[in-house]
Structure 1
Amino acid sequence: MALRALVLTLLLSLLGLGSGQWKVMGPHKPVQVVVGEDAVFSCFLSPKTSAEAMEVRFFRDQFHAVVHLYREGKDQHNMQMPAYQGRTELLKDSIEEGHVLLRLNKVTLSDTGLYGCWFRSQNNDHGTTWELQVSALGSAPLVSIMGYVDGGIQLLCKSSGWFPQPTVKWKGPNGYDLPSDSKVNADRHGLFDAETSLIVQENAGSISCSIQYPDQSREVESRVWIRGAIFQAVSWRLISILLGVFLSVLCVGVLGLTISFYIFKGKIWADLDQRRKHGVAELREARKYAVEVILDVETAHPQLHISDLKTVCYKNTQQEMTYTDKKFKRKCVVATQGFQAGKHYWEIEVGHNVMWYVGVCRDDVDRKVTHVTLSPNNGYWVLGLNSEHLYLTFNPDDTILSPRKPPTRVGVFLDYEAGTISFLNVNDQSFIYTLTHQFKGLLRPYIQYYGSDEKNVTPIVICPVSPRSEKGAPCDTDKLEPYP
């Protein structure tokens, strides 16, 4: 498959008719997805070039096998292969920079194969390919008793619904592999069923049945305990009954749980507890440095309506105003206050809106550009929520975050001399993330807000903060309905 991808990519390069002003970059390694999840393919032009007026084609195996087609400024759904109709979405938020994402919903095994994307303009065209690898995680191993063999008990372990073909192992108390008889068969859907048997002796201890992907990226395990008391001198039938009851009760608690799951779960809870403790302490400390932040109306984009010098409302219609050097051409606004020393803290009510960023920016950032990565390299230190409902920051590249709970009120704590800016979830008093940088120059509080649907958005508000309070002061948006 990798050789096919290389050959097809070379053919696409040879077929390019343009002058070579730009080329297409795609996934540099196979995209791996589990059955039922969504796959996301990323393609972009290098160097950055607007693709709004271009034809963008995603295809499967062959150029004419259309997965998704964008042409003449809109999606051409009637050109898709039947297997992909209603399952694709082209994300064009950054198409002006030549970057698009294709989301393929609810991937199945039949989606496995070679994919490519192709950009065409009036004087150039170019494409690239990659491989989609689909896997299926099978059921938890079911351990059962087959009977007595050679003075021991024969155990049978079964699991079904795997792809690709898994490996099956028995492991002893010390974690070493035990010799066993195993077989793997494919069903009529192309999924693999695994089965393995093992004979254990008295006082065998902890025995586990492990089934995993060939690359060991996923593993499912069931564990049982074999003790000497089970092998008392009683009738074979009674021993079978007692062991069957013992294993049945034990398996109820352990089936489907793996060692990796326990470790992962423990790390997650420990991390969340640490975030909570860290957040409570830092929030208490940060509120000692609460400042009043007032928005600078003259810097606001015409679609951002400022009221009370603290409230940002988004409207589809632009206000009539004269552009000055202070005004941003992006949908953002900064505060009148600027900081270049000391510690400062403020809170922003973002509600349940999406596509927002809050934090600070340097006073000398370029305000005339319409698109810029909000990275420290460009003078921005922010936390945000994008259209895909992912919380992220830039450090300096985009970093996906996982808050303990979705924040509706965000605390921003700037320590200029220490070179840190921390983001806190005021709702549950938990710590989210800290950016570290050696600050230079004047920094201003920053809000960016893309209200995509005016009927389902609420204002974003800078809230009053009580330095001595453990909880945030009431904010005007606490009971607001979506902005009419």
Structure 2
Amino acid sequence: MASSLLWLLMSPPQPTAGGVHHPLLVLDGYEGDGIRLKCLSERLFADVQVLWRSGGGEDVLGTPLSNSSTANASSSLVLKPGSGNSVSCKVIDKVLRTSTESSVVIADVFFPATSPWLAAFIVILLLILLLVLSALYKIRVYKKITARESKSQLGICGAARGNAQKEFQEDMDQLQRELDEEKEIFEKENQELLSKIEFRRARSHAVQITLDESCKHPNLSIKEKNRVMACTQPQPPLEALVVAREGFSGGKHYWEVEVGDKSQWELGVVCEEVREGLRNNRATAGGNCFSLQLCQGEYSLSGEAGVRTWKPCSVVGVLLDQEQQLLAFFDVEGKQLLHRLRFHSSGRLYPAFSPGSDGKWLGVRPVRV
């Protein structure tokens, strides 16, 4: 639950008289741009009154969680950012004339925030639209002027008329080229911005990955539970894999791999059948491995013909999205998407790694968000 990550400063209960059960403050999760809090008491609504109070001492209206006077006293409140970030819940016993109070403080960093990339994207889009509208206006004005001049010079000889039309066409072609260049620049910048936003969202699903000694090709060597390298002769093929201990059957999961300047590697996921086969020293990945490969400077995706060329990268990020049945690979240092790969698998999937045969280490590193 997202609210479990919040840092809370909980003040100790402060009874004003007597000794009774203190109200319990619970973070119920995000709601809109705020965080919903619940105040729970073991006393009945018929016996007590539940009051909310802000950090500045002002009373705040809460919402009862039950309309029955015989139910336990409970109330909820949505704390908005910029409202002082502190609130207290006070339970007043009408019979014993006692009260108890609990309070909570939430730092601004834990409130939902709008991505700064969205504002940049909107500004760029507005500038491009303004440029296109300005160009269209100039074209329209130019056409009107040309038409007016053509009507006033009907007596000009055919050669002069031809020169005017030629100049007009050249101006139109130049303006079209400028528009095409601006459109290309906008599309490139827009694609880079969207790619960085996608990369940032992918990293928010980071998980811890540990290589499994019992599920690897016999010619691979593991060091420090997160590094792997080919260790014997003859060198193993690129399909020689080691599988992680962690497996996933739903949701989104992201991890990063340091490939350095290696000339060969393979990163992706495999199904339960491949993992068990590696454990028994009898399996090959075959069609049950969904991966991105690098071999001799050329990239290829499992299940797809042909090769692709991208600039070299030293750290590769892998996002497994089992909701969309999608694998996405990122250049971590450039914060750019390398490629997406769709797959079809309904079972549990495990991260898989192949260091190739270039004699260099491949390592899984912790994600630093």
Q: TM-score range by the shorter chain?
A: 0.3 to 0.5
- TM-score, length of structure 2 as denominator length: 0.47
- TM-score, length of structure 1 as denominator length: 0.37
Q: Highest relative contact order (Cα 8 Å, sep 6+), 1 or 2?
A: 2
Name whichever structure is richer in helix by fraction: 2
Bigger Cα Rg: 2
